[in-house]
Structure 1
Amino acid sequence: MLLLGALVGGLWANPVNAHGGVNWFDDAAAMNSSGSPSIRINLSEQKAYFYKGSRLVGVSLISSGKRGFSTSPGNFRVLAKRPNHRSSIYGSYVDSSTGRVVKADVDTRKHRRPPGTHYRGAKMNHYIRFNGGIGLHASGHVPRYPASHGCVRMPPHMASKFYQYARVGMPVRVSY
């Protein structure tokens, strides 16, 4: 895949594919390139980059943590991967008899569960945990600005690719 961008300090800055877009992943390069995999998240750009050694093999738009829930910068490692994870904090209270959502956008630390309901955590498919309970995961809502409770939201097809090639213990660098 032809990449356009500038080589800065041995890393590609603002890389895009030959079509000028983002949200791409080169499976062949991910499988065949030498070197260890790593993920770099740029909070200013709202993009995540997947590398195999020094070779960039994927770029995705993201939505990181909003004000009051900022995604922390730092150097981390993948702690765990779960294909069908659900949040233990954020979700909905659902009527136990009908399955209807009674209260959405619940924070279990702040909102009491109404009688006759149960908690259903928000879906976080292709979850790659790297900092406490913070991780990358699929979301149907990935605006081009920080909007999450701290996690890094990705379009589902990109979260699937990052998940496929991520390994527990690999580095994740979050920066501005």
Structure 2
Amino acid sequence: MTTGYTRRRVMAGLGAGLLAPAAIAQTLKDIRDLKPGEFTWHPERSPAGPVAIIVSIPDQRVHVYRGGIRIGVSTCSTGKPGHETPTGVFTILQKDKDHKSSTYNNAPMPNMNRLTWDGIALHAGKLPGYPASHGCVRLPMAFSEKVFGITHVGTPVILAGSHADPVDIVHPGLLLTGDAAGGMDAAVAKLKSRALPVAEPAITVLVSAASGEAVLLENGRTVATTAAQVADGTGLGEHVFSLIEAHDGGAALRWHAIGYSDSHGVPVEVPQGSILRRVGADEGFRAAVHDRLHPGMLMVTTDLPLHPDRRSAEDFVIMTA
């Protein structure tokens, strides 16, 4: 099941990142005025850190963040009517610099970052200025090369109608344990010994307030499930949390968080640290998660049930529409 699109201009406050006010105004003007095939790329703004990509389907723009700071914005072309690009949170499943389509007459798809096994990907292609693909996200060739060079299997890609920019969160304790908890020293020692997950398995924790379930995925495959403990019983919202590093001398963990929606024009909540404090799980599940901590690990919260139609092994992480 897919969602439609609406062609509108970039909202005034979208994509501000962490720039100074004058720079924000100039950057937003540039983003609004980009012509099909144009992009901006400033990797020097954040030379290192986990990468996250947000595709704004209504605005036909791709935003690239590294270490929580936006380093690039590009025009794109998503799925045309009848082949709409699905919305939700995906992770890169496969990379192929010289990919050719097995579905569309061996059509070249350079710098392909695969998002689903049934044909959705980021890749270089024609950009006519409106949605024209069969569901993929087409990028300018030069921009696709730059994106290909900084992504890895497991990099999160959010396909959305609207979103909030990443915010920095420091959580005083381990994941899924509420506030400060034991075992922090051992977990932080493991975290510090691990680099970005270029050589690590892609780890994602899914938490659904609707079905009261937590799922641990390793390279897209379920390795553990448990009942999720959600304090106060209210919804969690649609958020993606990316682990950055140990903080405060190892007493806390630093995360970047992104809120998103599948609908255009819907106000998106800026995720706060309280969401991390509200979610818990049983000891066995927590241990499995903490043993796999590494920079770039994801936790995805949703108010949708974790139904098989929304997620399948090594395919969608959580598809909203």
Query: Does the alignment reach a TM-score above 0.5?
Result: yes
* SS of residue paired to 1:24: strand
> What are the Cα deviations for residues 121-155 of structure 1, in whole angstroms up to 9, with x where unaligned?
0000000111222111011x202211001111111
> What are the Cα deviations for residues 77-128 of structure 1, in whole angstroms up to 9, with x where unaligned?
010110000000102xxxxxxxxxxxxxxxxxxxxxxxxxxxxx00000001
Structure 1: state its 5+ residue gaps.
92-120
1:24 to 36, 40, 53: 40
1:74 to 79, 88, 112: 88
1:100-139 map, 5 Å:
121-132=106-117, 133-139=119-125
Range moving further from structure 2, 20-29 or 143-152: 20-29
Q: Which amino acid aligns with 1:26?
A: H
What residue in structure 2 maps to residue 156 of structure 1? Answer: 141
Residues 83, 51 of structure 1: alpha-carbon distance in 2 compared, 3 angstrom cutoff:
same
Residues 26, 123 of structure 1: alpha-carbon distance in 2 compared, 3 angstrom cutoff:
same
Residues 78, 157 of structure 1: alpha-carbon distance in 2 compared, 3 angstrom cutoff:
same
Q: Which amino acid aligns with 1:83?
A: K
- Number of residue pairs aligned between Structure 1 and Structure 2: 139
What residue in structure 1 maps to residue 97 of structure 2? Answer: 83
Give the structure with the higher percent helix.
2
1:48 aligns with 2:62: yes
What residue in structure 2 maps to residue 114 of structure 1? Answer: none
TM-score using structure 2 length = 0.40
Alpha-carbon separation, structure 2, partners of 1:129 and 1:149? 14
Preserved contact between residue 98 and residue 110 of structure 2 (Cα < 8 Å): yes
What residue in structure 1 maps to residue 13 of structure 2? Answer: 6
Q: Which amino acid aligns with 2:57?
A: L
> What are the Cα deviations for residues 37-67 of structure 1, in whole angstroms up to 9, with x where unaligned?
0110010000111101220000010000111
Alpha-carbon separation, structure 2, partners of 1:174 and 1:58? 16
Alpha-carbon separation, structure 2, partners of 1:138 and 1:61? 11
Which structure has the greater CA radius of gyration?
2
Q: Which amino acid aligns with 2:152?
A: R
Using the TM superposition, give the Cα deviation of residue 17 of structure 1 relative to its aligned residue in structure 2, in angstroms. 3.2
* SS of residue paired to 2:45: helix
Preserved contact between residue 17 and residue 24 of structure 1 (Cα < 8 Å): no
What residue in structure 2 maps to residue 172 of structure 1? Answer: 157
Residues 137, 16 of structure 1: alpha-carbon distance in 2 compared, 3 angstrom cutoff:
farther
TM-score using structure 1 length = 0.70
> What are the Cα deviations for residues 138-175 of structure 1, in whole angstroms up to 9, with x where unaligned?
11x20221100111111101111111111110111001
Q: Which amino acid aligns with 2:133?
A: S
User: Percent identity, aligned pairs only?
Assistant: 35
Structure 2: state its 5+ residue gaps.
1-11, 162-321
What residue in structure 1 maps to residue 132 of structure 2? Answer: 147
Preserved contact between residue 60 and residue 154 of structure 1 (Cα < 8 Å): yes
Residues 142, 36 of structure 1: alpha-carbon distance in 2 compared, 3 angstrom cutoff:
same
Moved over 3 A (4+): 5-12, 14-19
> What are the Cα deviations for residues 10-30 of structure 1, in whole angstroms up to 9, with x where unaligned?
789x98638725401113235
Alpha-carbon separation, structure 2, partners of 1:15 and 1:73? 28
Considering Cα pairs closer than 8 Å and 6+ residues apart, tell me whether 1 or 2 has the greater RCO: 1
Residues 48, 124 of structure 1: alpha-carbon distance in 2 compared, 3 angstrom cutoff:
same
Alpha-carbon separation, structure 2, partners of 1:16 and 1:83? 33
Alpha-carbon separation, structure 2, partners of 1:15 and 1:170? 29
CA RMSD of aligned residues (A): 2.6
